[in-house]
Structure 1
Amino acid sequence: MSKSTTNNHAAHQSDHEEEVLDVLDLPQIYTKPSSQQLLDTLALLSLEPQSWDKSTAQPKPKVSSNGVPQYLTRIVSSPLDWIKDDVEKEKIWDIASLRLSERSGRTGMGDITRSFRIPLSADTTNSSSTMKPVITSSNDQDITVQVSIHEPALTEDNLGLKTWASSFVFARNWHTLRDRIPLVFGKDENATILELGAGTGLVGIAAAAVLGANVLLTDLPEIVPNLERNIASNKEMIESRKGSARAAILDWTVPEKIIYPDETHGSTRSLAAEEQSSKYPLIVAADPIYSKEHPAWLVQTIDCHLAQSPDARVLIQIPIREAYAEERADLKDRMVKIGLELFHEQTETGYDDWSDGRGDELSEVECWLGMWKWKDA
């Protein structure tokens, strides 16, 4: 980030700096606050989902996390007998319980919807390689697009239902990456991007919008329904950018089989033989490795679907997690063995919200992007 940009950013932050409230500043149960006072306070204590993208909207007052769980527990356990409306009391207890669950971390937050602002040009990103949230103004509509992403309640069995840091870093970079994907951008209007392990769909939806490209977003059967929902939510925006997006089921253990959900009957159908034989000039994946088996499965799927062309590309964004160093090395070795070579790589800092629920700062995640092409094509 340039010095002038940094100064403007700091000035903008100082304009909105507010005194942090203490839990003792909130209406206390022993004072018998009204139902409206309690509801307003509970709204103030909501932990809104992070989008990693700040807007210029006036922020709500911040409350110190110290003592908040105890404060909420007192509300939940109180009979609220001075409030005569039973419906109001139930509402207060329900919302206070929700505020408590939010403080159990991301897994306790239930369903959330995030909004991500994605640049269409370099004018809306920092010159620095650190991808911190960027402040944008209301007249940025011509140089950014806003992607709405729904995330169902998260479980350890379905980590694909969360938007991870590497996906946002990847999505924010499409406007600079397009020069390295010749078949998709500027040469073949009918070319389709294949996304593997699309998760919530941020990367693929952003690609469809920024590149004006056709994108097939794939994942496991339990992930695809939410993927379809997010594509539908952003359909108008994607089509306004001359792009298209579609979801399908693709299990890496059976890489040759792509299955489209049937929109009319709730069933599924396999791609026709002629469709399955087609290859993709660009395959992308973000954060695709979190088990020892994934490198082998991912690479065999890439080998099955990547076009045999000098212009074919594979883009893989991976968070640099110490626990998966062997898997990253295995992935690179396997890519070389199928005839691909790494021709470009870069690292950037992303931000994740896999927090303890106390409303703390986002955690930094170093993200590596590798670009591959056929060595002898």
Structure 2
Amino acid sequence: MKLWPAATTLVNLLDRHSRRESTPLSSLFTTGAAQRRLRLLELGSGTGMVGIAAAVLLGASVTVTDLPHVLPNLQFNVDANAGILDLHGGSVDVAALSWGEIQEMERIGRDYDVIVGSDVVYHDHLYEPLLETLRFFLLGSEKKVVFLMAHLKRWKKESTFFKKAKKYFDVEVIHTDSPCNGSRVGVNVYTFVKRGGENLNSLS
């Protein structure tokens, strides 16, 4: 299972935030529910590194998700880190989530404060399923939910995803890494939040 550059960027930001350094995440990971742990959902988790790191560094309750055939390795990685998760008060659940599949989305529910994803804008045939998933979790929630996405631009066609996304969400770049490993561009970190007054009913 490959570790993508954007995942490293997110983990580094989480680490800096946990050490109380000033980062763009400082306001993002502050909830009004002081009596409960932060709840995160990770899309396209892959190895689960970002979700596991978030649980450890933030003491968060995290649900990591991916396609069914990825789950055994994902669960293995979660189990391998059980000790450090317990030590830091975090928890990680593993669940199947095929983007755009309403039954799977309803099964894991909408009770999250932040949705995270790294290098999820990759295959163009998945742009619409990903947007359907984001509409479900961000527009369908009664509270403000933020999608935090780390992304390394590779192709011009990716602009199609962002153009479509801006029909439903306010999209902002909150952090940019310097290029490395021969790349001409660095990883961008975006926030997506629902635009004012929109809800699921307005999508029909």
CA contact (8 A) 1:196 1:285 kept: yes
C-alpha distance in 2 between matches for 1:255 and 1:367: 30
Q: Which has the higher contact order (CA 8 A, sep 6+)?
A: 2
CA contact (8 A) 1:256 1:301 kept: no
CA contact (8 A) 2:59 2:90 kept: yes
User: CA 1:185–1:238 in structure 2 vs 1: closer, same or farther (change >3 Å)?
Assistant: farther
> Which one-letter code corresponds to 2:143 in the other structure?
S
Match of 1:326 in 2: 157
CA contact (8 A) 1:256 1:304 kept: no
Structure 1: stretches of 5+ with no match in the other structure: 1-160, 259-269, 352-361
5 Å matches for 1:14-163?
Answer: 161-163=1-3
C-alpha distance in 2 between matches for 1:197 and 1:371: 17
1:254 aligns with 2:94: no
CA contact (8 A) 1:313 1:372 kept: yes
Match of 2:20 in 1: none
Larger radius of gyration: 1
C-alpha distance in 2 between matches for 1:252 and 1:335: 15
Match of 1:283 in 2: 115
CA contact (8 A) 1:224 1:247 kept: yes
Match of 1:203 in 2: 50
C-alpha distance in 2 between matches for 1:255 and 1:288: 19
C-alpha distance in 2 between matches for 1:303 and 1:194: 14
- 1:194 is paired with a residue whose SS is strand
Task: State which of 31, 53, 70 in structure 2 corresponds to 1:223.
Answer: 70
Match of 1:166 in 2: 6
CA contact (8 A) 2:37 2:59 kept: no
C-alpha distance in 1 between matches for 2:113 and 2:73: 26
Match of 2:149 in 1: 316
> Which one-letter code corresponds to 1:326 in the other structure?
K
Task: State which of 171, 176, 195 in structure 2 corresponds to 1:347.
Answer: 176
- 2:177 is paired with a residue whose SS is strand
- 1:295 is paired with a residue whose SS is helix
TM-score (norm 1): 0.46
- CA shift, 1:305, in A, is 1.8
Count of residue pairs brought into register by the alignment: 187
- CA shift, 1:254, in A, is 1.0
User: CA 1:345–1:288 in structure 2 vs 1: closer, same or farther (change >3 Å)?
Assistant: same
